[in-house]
Structure 1
Amino acid sequence: MQASQSGQRHIGKVAVCGAGVMGAQIAAHCVNAGVPVVLFDLPAKEGDKSAIAKRAIAGLQKMNPAPLGTPGLADAITPANYEDDMHRLAECDLVIEAIAERMDWKLDLYKKLAPFIKPGAIIASNTSGLSITALSQALPEALRHRFSGVHFFNPPRYMPLVELIPTADTTPALVSQLETFLTSQLGKGVVRAKDTPNFIGNRIGVFGILSVFAQAAKASLPVDVVDDLTGTRLGRAKSGTFRTADVVGLDTLAHVIATMRDQLPDDPFHASFGLPAVVSALIEKGALGQKAGAGFYRKEGKAILRVDPAKGGYVPADGKADDAVAALLAERDPGKRLQALRESSHPQAQFVWAVLRDAFHYAAVHLADIADNARQVDQAMVWGFGHAQGPFELWQAAGWRQVAQWVADDIAAGRALSSAPLPDWASSGPVWEAQGVHTAQGSWNPHTQSFQPRSSLPVYQRQVAAPRLVGEATGLSETVVFENEAVKAFTLPAPHPEDVLLLSFKSKMHTLGPDVIQGIVHAVDVAEGSFKALVIGQLTEPFSAGADLKSMLPLFAQGGIKAVEPVERAMQDMVQRVRYAQVPVVAALAGMALGGGCELAVHCAKRVAHFETYMGLVEVGLGLVPGSGGLAYCARRAAELQSETNPDIPLLALLKKFALAVASAQVSKSALDAREIGYMLPSDTVVMNRYELLYVAVREAAMLAQAGWRPPLQQAFPVAGRDAIATLKVQLVNMQVGGFISAHDFTVAEKVAYVMCGGDVDPGSLVDDEWMLSLERQAFLGLLADPKTQERIMGFVKTGKPVRN
């Protein structure tokens, strides 16, 4: 780990000690970010001593959801064991221990690791709730200042939250360095937690689960109804509560609950820290949840069953929230919604109010114990548990004073889970006057009795338009250049480059309708006249779900193909305008970039993509071919690859990858996977933190401009021609005969092959953009007139799912 001239150290390699589920996935996410890893585990008793780590690495390539951005990244993880490879610790700048939650095992391991740790390296324990201070005692005193807790939430690739838990001995600069690495290099949302049992996320989150258990039992609600009430209707994870417990594992949940029960005897809510009888019974039967095939739920064939404690078995899981309660939960005004739930006599409504009240109550009572400020609690619940809002933010959004009074009334009436009163700060003083814990000055810190600003670490200056909590000051102060109902063009203030124009879309899912298309063209015109570069990107995901089919259907219904052709041509003209613009146009990608969104992106001068970017030309699923330059791009890119690598390689060999991706509507599993498919180039940039995307994109655009960027010359390129079409058609016939594709699938895929190979021309014939776009347009419009394609489109518009016909 070397220090730069600014004094900032760099973490070049990581050691992960423990190749279990969490350790292996933490290793996977490090290599996703380009950081090589040495993965340690116990020596195998027979054969290769690193066999345990090797099996874990191999297992990463089979897991779903995939921990690796591409399977090949597994090669960047070096397997190791504690007997032969301890010297490899000296290569590593960060050592993460991630073995089982056993204090004695962890302490024993630290004693073995300590002599081999590199001078200056950071040491961290991935623990979900053990005392970091107690763990540090196993290290020599000289190493304790470099030790902290770093709790990744599962699965590490997809869950944003990492809790960072320093001890009293941890050097503050080291904590900041680690926070910077986790935030920028691994793309995480970091919350600093106090060294208390279960820290912030699990302390609040597991109490919330216990509250649901308790209140569901009081209301006699079955698990499927509870999950419907506590899922997306409540602004929480789709899986609700009981299904989430199954995913976590009932044995794991029981362990975390036991930690709270054993280590928090003085918690005023301690009476609620028991394991419900139904959970104990399931664990005794080995029904530990998803990993065991049964828990609160069990799958039999295609049927989903739920546990019924009264019957001692499983019954169909078809319960839903009552329509009346669902209507209350659909109320958009948080204050009106909570008031309606509280005043309703419906058991389901009373249940939901009780769960929310318990969350407010517990978070307020324990804020000072577990966190420095209210923001950390709210962000922990959003990033770690998938809540739309944390408890304090929801409380404040619903009206701080009124909700505080309701909670106090329930406590006084004995309806709450504890008789502990709300802390004084919740019902008087600055929070009461500000009507909430989040203000423009910062979030409430009960220790300093003041509102604490957000972190001033430089890494957070890179986050453009990161979400703000209710009551906080907005994080974006842009200058609008032009704006209409479809698009918004703006610049960012200094120190961002002010000569780079940014364009975002306002359409639902950022689809590309006629008004958005016109907005993109106008933005290119404005950028060429008054700016040095243009970035096309969104403040919220996705980048674009593609063409706006709904706007196209009325045109088709009224005027048929002739009415749609101008829109199709306008899409093609737009991507060409972007490709040949006189200023560099950079696509800032995050989330989906599908269909026309993908076609727009591939025609930009460069792509800057968040790691979790899912690109694909998916039109064949609707019975269409990509019609906005996507197939032209694939043909041209294959020709470029032939020129860049080996002119003797047949074009068809390079084109097959693109043809398969388009014909199967393949969507990349990450930005790195998009690079492997060919929708991103090796020179394109991948960022790990979603909120650094625009920061990086505007600087990449400015650098292209400063380097004297020029658009590509409009040159002809060779195509594979009729021979390649015939070869691909034979393969399609075999797939149809084998029953892998339908007759209409064959028709669509044949069109893809025809266009991508350049049409009925000799192999190696030179064609230009207009030739390829004309082929695309004819194929697209011809398929649009096909009744089978129309069935697919109408079915998709109605259901959101592809129709197979």
Structure 2
Amino acid sequence: MSSKFQVRKVAVLGAGVMGAQIAAHLVNCKVPVVLFDLPAKEGPKNGIVTKAVDGLKKLKPAPLGDSADAAMIQQANYEEHLEVLKGCDLIIEAIAERMDWKLDLYTKIAPFVAPHAIVASNTSGLSITKLSEVLPEEIKPRFCGIHFFNPPRYMALVELINTPTTQPEILDQLEAFVTTSLGKSVVRAHDTPNFVANRVGIAGMMATMIEAEKFGLSVDVVDDLTGKKLGRASSGTFRTADVVGLDTMAHVVKTMQDNLKDDPFYSTYATPKVLGELIQKGALGQKTGAGFYKKVGKDIQRLDFATGEYVAGGKKADEIVARMLKKQPADRLKLLRESSNPQAQFLWAILRDSFHYAAVHLDTVADTAREIDFAMRWGFGSQQGPFELWQAAGWKQVAEWIAADIADGKALSSAPLPAWVTEGPVAEAGGVHTPEGSWSAAEGEFKPRSELPVYERQAFGESLLGTGAADPLKSGTELFKNDEVRVWTRDGKVVIASITAKLHLISPAVTEGLLKAVEIAEGQYQGLVIWSPDDVFSAGANLESLMPVFMKMGSKGIAPEEKKLQDMMLRLRYASVPVVAAMRGLALGGGAELAVHCARRVAHVESYVGLVEVGVGLIPGGGGLTYIARRAAEMAAAGNAGADILTFLKDGFLTAATAKVATSAHEARKNGFLLESDIIVPHKDELLHVATTTALGMAEAGYRAPHKALFPVAGRSGIATIKGQVANMRDGGFVSAHDYHLAAAIADVVCGGEVEAGSLVTEEYLMALERKHFCALLDNPKTQERIMGMLQTGKPVRN
């Protein structure tokens, strides 16, 4: 078999919630997909699949990056289209969790599976080995488990599970495809009940429910304690159960009840009485409108365990406990354990239970401690997995506390901690994660991370505490640094500029740092990449940093600062080396303007891009409107002779005037912030690699900056047309008077001011118009209200 596994088409079998959303995610990543289900009993044969695909457009959070892409999912049924399978390189089965149904389907499709195709089951808990036994001998080596976490677009985790007959290179090929093409983070799991994440995560949720009852805490308080404050997903415990679906949770628990009779924690897998009662009533959580919580009008009520009725919710953790949780790990655990507050005792108990459980089961559920910690991070949204937190808090001390609790009968199981916890290499290293690797309890050694070539693309992949991974902001060769920008290089060829300010807001210091980066790159390098190692490209201009100047000199003092920002944008655009924006997460306002002035954009698929200035009563002032005007002229010129610029302007105008934010890179391309030539990258940790190689490739191809050129604008007739349409909206009560005022200012800039239609202008001319309106708005009391509101509450004021 060749080392490059080509995936030209994927078949997904089963158009249920999971199957349809996996198909949607494949389409997001531009992988051709065909979605199968049973033939409908009446009407068109593909009816079941058609309904599922239509459903994708309505789901929240949206499974599709661009809802129009639903049309890209090819629809099929098992009666008419099995031949299509012959052209698929990967077949993912995602039908209901029933062994007999799955085996029946495998028998049906076996004759149509291509001789090289990988077949994988997306089951959350059934034995992959048992499933493989029905397959013909020639398919067995190419069969494995692939478990996507829900919702597949947003959850990073995919578990890959082998069987005794799976060929090792099959999993390697699948891991590379799932990582680079689908942007997922892979954990290899053993074929044990519920694999890694659900085994450890659901056991943790069960333990939390048991301890909550023991300490007499209500569901809202437990969720406040076990959410963000604890460094876990914001939905906490009971709310997460509601979102997942109580029936789904009970299903995962039942797998444990049926298959783990010898587990020392077996007693904790009993379905809690309250869970059983809710399921019997059909209160399955969010999808049925009631579970542990119930939405009544605008209020969220909680279930009262004592009465079984819903009562007012919203109670929070005690302030004293919240303060303990802000401390460093060692102090945090000590305070929780020694406190007499029932909430603190509860928290110590669930943390102790999670450490105890992970240690006892490490030798059977996972290859090393790394898989457990990453599975909890990627599958359950925890900032740290159980081993990481334990190690951070002091391995030996915490082990002694756990052992004492087991001896006192306080733990959920009487099973002692395994010997490797307290003696030998782990005890000597002070934990399970070391620079050499992570601890494998089954093999009794520290094992290094995967050496697969796909991980060479992740310059700074996610790392675990204790592994001594490189800090990107301390790596490479530093070329320049100020308070808010670090300019550095990894390879001696491409310069990297990393904005280090909070939310990467653009202040005068950032402008200075980026100008310096261009100068250095032009001096002796081949390109410049703007990249920072977290989930924000830049959330806009830093208004607060300009406050002192504004207080002293008013808008007159802001104009020169605004010009410096605009000049920096043009400096990037006309640099003699290619400048590449490596975008991820938020690129708002000034962040979007920074990106559009680069020669090329390489964007992570989850990029949220938009010009949002009207939210603070301003208009884009860093060249964003100039860009919209120039792009409209370019598109009209590329269209047919005599194409009207106004036609192309309308979309750009609306995007800015309504502060519309694209909620994926694909939508940003539709909104004009990304061009066809820009690259969308599925895996966030491959962004830097792709951006650097893109800059190098452009340089190798003999990059020249664009010529400074004059371009036509829509002029005063364009302004009149746009203002007329916005006035109708104002008079109909759809927009406020101040919003109309802002829209008129935006129209004035994008149409080039009071000139004849078709007049030729420069970027500098339009930027001067931007500045004029921007500064005039700063003096407007309604704008000042919006800015102060945003700085104080972080929410837009609609005045």
From 246, 253, 259, the equivalent of 1:257 is: 253
Equivalent position of 1:425 in the other structure:
420
**Could you give the per-residue CA deviations for residues 332-374 of structure 1, whole angstroms, max 9, x where no partner exists?**
x111111110011100000000000000000000011110000
Inter-partner Cα distance in structure 1 for 2:433 and 2:228: 24
How far 1:307 sits from its partner (Å)?
0.7
Residues in 1 aligned to 2:427 and 2:66: alpha-carbon distance in whole angstroms: 51
- TM-superposed deviation, 1:737: 1.3
The partner residue of 1:714 within 708, 716, 725 is: 708
SS in 2 for 1:696: helix
Q: Which residue of 2 aligns with 1:598?
A: 592
Which residue does the alignment assign to 1:240? Answer: 236
The structure 1 residue matched to 2:542, chosen from 545, 548, 567, is 548
Which residue among 346, 349, 353 is the counterpart of 1:351? 346
Residue of structure 2 equivalent to 1:163: 159
Whether the 8 Å CA contact 2:637–2:643 is kept in 1: the answer is no
**2 CA distance for matches of 1:306 and 1:648?**
63
Displacement of 1:16 in angstroms is 0.1
User: Partner residue of 1:445?
Assistant: 440
SS at 1:58 equivalent: helix
Cα offset, 1:648, TM superposition: 2.7
The whole-number CA distance in structure 2 between the counterparts of 1:191 and 1:120 is 24
Equivalent residue, structure 2, for 1:630: 624
* Aligned-partner residue type, residue 487 of structure 2: A
In structure 1, the residue matched to 2:366 is 371
CA contact (8 A) 1:325 1:349 kept: yes
Tell me the SS of whatever aligns to 1:504: strand
Correspondence for 2:323 among 320, 323, 327: 327
The answer for the alignment partner of 2:560 in structure 1 is 566
Partner in structure 2 of residue 222 of structure 1: 218
**Residue in structure 1 matching 2:188, options 183, 186, 192:** 192
Kindly indicate whether the alpha-carbon contact (under 8 Å) linking 1:287 and 1:295 is maintained by their aligned counterparts in 2: yes
1:298 to 266, 291, 294: 294
Among 10, 14, 35, the alignment partner of 2:10 is 14
Whole-Å separation in 2 of the counterparts to 1:784 and 1:90: 63
- Deviations 1:295-316 (CA, angstroms, capped at 9, x unpaired): 1111111111111122321111
Tell me, yes or no, if structure 1 residue 134 matches structure 2 residue 130. yes
Counting only pairs closer than 5 Å after superposition, residues 291-690 of structure 1 correspond to structure 2 as 291-331=287-327, 333-475=328-470, 477-493=475-491, 498-690=492-684
Aligned to 2:685: 691
* 5+ long unaligned stretches in structure 1: none
CA deviations 1:731-755 (Å, max 9, x no partner) are: 1111111111111111111111111
Q: Which moved more, 1:664-673 or 1:310-319?
A: 310-319
Question: Counterparts in 2 of 1:169-180, with a 5 A limit?
Answer: 169-180=165-176
Which residue pairs with 1:700 in the alignment? Answer: 694
**Partner secondary structure for residue 239 of structure 1:** coil
1:17, distance to aligned residue in structure 2 (A): 0.1
Asked if the contact 1:442–1:453 (Cα under 8 Å) also holds between the matched residues in 2, the reply is yes
1:763-774 equivalences under 5 Å are 763-774=757-768
Find the aligned partners of 2:599 and 2:641 in 1 and give their Cα distance.
25
**1:24 maps to 2:20:** yes
- Identity of paired residues, percent? 58
Distance 1:225 1:557 in 2: 44
In 2, the alpha carbon distance for the partners of 1:418 and 1:653 equals 70
Q: Which runs of 5+ in 2 are unaligned?
A: none
Give the stretch that moved more between structures: 555-564 or 170-179: 555-564
Report the TM-score, using the length of structure 1 for normalisation. 0.98
The alpha carbon displacement at 1:138 in A equals 1.5
Q: Take 2:734 and 2:529, find their aligned partners in 1: how far apart are those partners? A: 41
Q: Whole-Å Cα distance in 2 between the matches of residues 412 and 78 of structure 1?
A: 59
- Which residue of the other structure, out of 30, 37, 43, is the alignment partner of 1:41? 37
- Secondary structure of 2:798's match? coil
Verify the 8 A CA contact 1:16 1:38 in the aligned structure 2: yes
Which range is displaced more, 300-309 or 18-27? 300-309
Is the counterpart of residue 59 in structure 1 residue 47 in structure 2? no
Amino acid at match of 1:334: P
- Output one character per residue of 1:213-261: Cα deviation in whole Å (capped at 9) or x when no partner: 0000001000000000000000000010000000000111111111111
4+ aligned runs moved over 4 Å, structure 1: none
Residue 795 (structure 2) aligns with = 801
- Supply the AA of the counterpart residue of 1:620: V
- TM-score of the superposition, structure 2-length normalised? 0.99
CA offsets per residue over residues 433-472 of structure 1, 9 Å max, x none? 0000000000001122111000000000100112211100
Paired with 1:77 and 1:441, the residues of 2 have a C-alpha distance of 44
SS at match of 1:571: helix
Checking the alignment, whether the CA contact within 8 Å between 1:441 and 1:473 is kept in structure 2 is: no
- Give, in whole Å, the separation in 1 of the partners of 2:738 and 2:400: 63
CA contact (8 A) 1:658 1:677 kept: yes
